[in-house]
Amino acid sequence: MEKFDVIVVGAGPSGNAAAYTLAKAGLSVLQLERGEAAGSKNVQGAILYSDALEKVIPNFRDDAPLERHIIEQRMWVLDDESFIGTHFRSDDFNKPPYNRYTIIRAKFDKWFSKKVQEAGALIISETTVKELLRDKSGKVVGVETDRADGKVYADVVIMADGVNSTLARKAGFRPELDPKHVALAVKEIHFMPRETVEQRFNIKDDEGVVIEMLGKITQGMMGTGFLYTNSDSISIGVGCMLSDFMEQKLTPYDLLEQMKRHPSIQPLIQGGEMKEYTAHLIPEGGYHAIPRVYGDGWMIVGDSGMFVNAVHREGSNLAMTTGRMAAETIIELHRAGKPMSEANLALYKERLDDSFVMKDLKKYKDMPDIFHSNNQFFTTYPELLSRSAYTMLKVDGVDKLTKEKEIFASFKERRSLFGLLGDAFKLWRAFR
Ligand SMILES: Cc1cc2nc3c(=O)[nH]c(=O)nc-3n(C[C@H](O)[C@H](O)[C@H](O)COP(=O)(O)OP(=O)(O)OC[C@H]3O[C@@H](n4cnc5c(N)ncnc54)[C@H](O)[C@@H]3O)c2cc1C
């Protein structure tokens, strides 16, 4: 009977962070991945938040495939013809060590996987874990894969198998996916010469710009769009709650096509050669959707545990952090000669509660419900904001006080005074 200290299921950021940390500490680790290689099944925007990776591989900048470091963040609220927004650009973001990078996940995951292998873990790809193996007491003791003689055993199994987490659902550790708790996102990469990217975004060398978008691009559904600069390509995508897609009978493909035609977006991607189109779910249910993440012989990390901060578009960093924390918990117990029991693994949850992961998710715990039931934030307000800016900036002989009154009247007409106050209160609750 083949037995390891730990089995890690999945080779995304959470599984790689866990497997690397464990193998580096000298534990015997088996990592199983259903794709033909790490990254082949993974989708992301993608922004890499360096802090989370630095805590796993401090010198990652030496050879990781990084595209551009981000020096400017734009936030756009769009109606059909315009956008109103903020741009924050800082030279502080242009000084090494850089804080955020754009990456291409297929390349990045392969690099990370090589590091895991070098650290000493055994990685077997093209292998799907079918289910968890349990002993008579219900303790998880290993996994069954789709290979012949596919049973493998370990003291503890880490489920890093992404948003669908069939394993945890099958075992009854996690409920079925609620369409209100997941976004369906689509993404394309448009290739163009490096110089074109740099001219269009007023950047040079490896500097990068990201644009986060919301408003009428999602046609009243709860969701956001994004556009990120890579070295010689642009990633563009949009995602909305799965339940909204089901209700509105719209396809994510249609939404992205329409977004690309927006007069403020189209010139940024013009002439690019589209080489990659992908779709993926993102767990956006927030704090209330997080399941139990540990038990007798098992732990859940990353998207499988619904660890995504949708407000700040952070997912991979929460994945790497939860992966690392699960690994550190196991290492501590292993060194102390303690069993991987539910009571001992509770230390993982304590660590999570004490970290930015749970603190941030708790802060925005009401956000998903509030935005989901108030689609005026994605329709009426973007339009009103845009019209207000247009009215104030158009020089047409009308005095500014009259314009201000017109703007206020248009807000009252669309939302009523009571509605406006109510919305302000909801926003305060969502972000407090
Ligand atoms: C369009 C899009 C844009 C995003 N943009 C960003 C961004 O800019 N920044 C950011 O931080 N996050 C972003 N995210 C979120 C981020 O991608 C995820 O949070 C992150 O990938 C989660 O990592 P993970 O390791 O938990 O899961 P995954 O990356 O999904 O990896 C899970 C792995 O498990 C494997 N697997 C699944 N089931 C099995 C099984 N039964 N047996 C064996 N292997 C299995 C899969 O093949 C996969 O390789 C984005 C997501 C999407 C979809």
pLDDT in tens, 400-416: 999 999 999 999 888 88
pLDDT, mean over the chain? 94
- Roughly what angle, to the nearest 10 degrees, separates helices 400-431 and 380-393? 150
pLDDT for 419 equals 87
d(CA 150, CA 158) in angstroms, rounded, equals: 17
d(CA 391, CA 403) in angstroms, rounded, equals: 7
% of the chain beyond a pLDDT of 70 = 99
Q: What average pLDDT does the segment 204-217 reach? A: 96
Considering the four listed CATH numbers 3.40.920.10, 3.30.9.90, 3.30.465.10, 3.40.50.1370, the one that applies to the domain covering 182-283 is 3.30.9.90
Distance from Cα 352 to the centre of ligand 1, integer Å: 19
Q: What average pLDDT does the segment 341-349 reach? A: 98
Distance from Cα 3 to the centre of ligand 1, integer Å: 27
pLDDT for 39 equals 66
% of the chain beyond a pLDDT of 90 = 85
Distance from Cα 85 to the centre of ligand 1, integer Å: 29
Q: Which residues are within 8 A (CB) of 102 and not within 5 positions of it... i.e. 6 or more apart? A: 45, 46, 47, 48, 66, 67, 68, 70, 208, 210, 228, 229, 230, 235
Backbone angles phi, psi at 49, to 5 degrees: -95, 115
pLDDT at 45 over 90: no
For residue 236, what are the β-bridge partners?
188, 227
- Nearest residue CA, atom 2 of ligand 1? 44
Q: What average pLDDT does the segment 56-65 reach? A: 98
Distance from Cα 347 to the centre of ligand 1, integer Å: 25
d(CA 275, CA 204) in angstroms, rounded, equals: 24
pLDDT at 211 over 90: yes
pLDDT tens profile 262-285: 999 999 999 999 988 899 999 999
pLDDT at 40 over 80: no
> What is the band of 167 on the pLDDT scale with cuts at 50, 70, 90?
very high
pLDDT at 41 over 70: no
d(CA 9, CA 224) in angstroms, rounded, equals: 30
The answer to whether the CB of 29 falls within 8 A of the CB of 19 is: yes
CB of 161 shorter than 6 A to ligand 1: yes
- Roughly what angle, to the nearest 10 degrees, separates helices 356-363 and 342-353? 60
pLDDT at 379 over 90: no
pLDDT tens profile 183-200: 999 999 999 999 999 999
Distance from Cα 378 to the centre of ligand 1, integer Å: 26
CB of 311 shorter than 6 A to ligand 1: no
From the list 182, 184, 190, the residue with the least C-alpha distance to 260 is 190
Distance from Cα 8 to the centre of ligand 1, integer Å: 14
pLDDT for 376 equals 87
> What is the band of 179 on the pLDDT scale with cuts at 50, 70, 90?
very high
Distance from Cα 205 to the centre of ligand 1, integer Å: 29
Q: In 309-421, which ranges are E strands?
A: none
Query: 374 vs 231, which has greater pLDDT?
Result: 231
> What is the band of 122 on the pLDDT scale with cuts at 50, 70, 90?
very high
d(CA 211, CA 255) in angstroms, rounded, equals: 17
Q: Is the peptide bond before 46 cis (omega within 30 degrees of 0)?
A: yes
From the list 31, 21, 16, 323, the residue with the least C-alpha distance to 152 is 31
- Nearest residue CA, atom 5 of ligand 1? 45
Q: Is 94 helix (H, G, I), strand (E, B) or coil?
A: helix
- Nearest residue CA, atom 29 of ligand 1? 12
pLDDT for 426 equals 85
Q: What is the pTM of this model?
A: 0.96
pLDDT at 43 over 80: no
- Roughly what angle, to the nearest 10 degrees, separates helices 13-24 and 105-119? 20
CB of 189 shorter than 6 A to ligand 1: no
The answer to whether the CB of 311 falls within 8 A of the CB of 364 is: yes
CB of 235 shorter than 6 A to ligand 1: no
pLDDT at 329 over 80: yes
- Nearest residue CA, atom 38 of ligand 1? 161
Q: Which fold does the domain 3-67+103-176+286-354 belong to in CATH?
A: FAD/NAD(P)-binding domain (3.50.50)
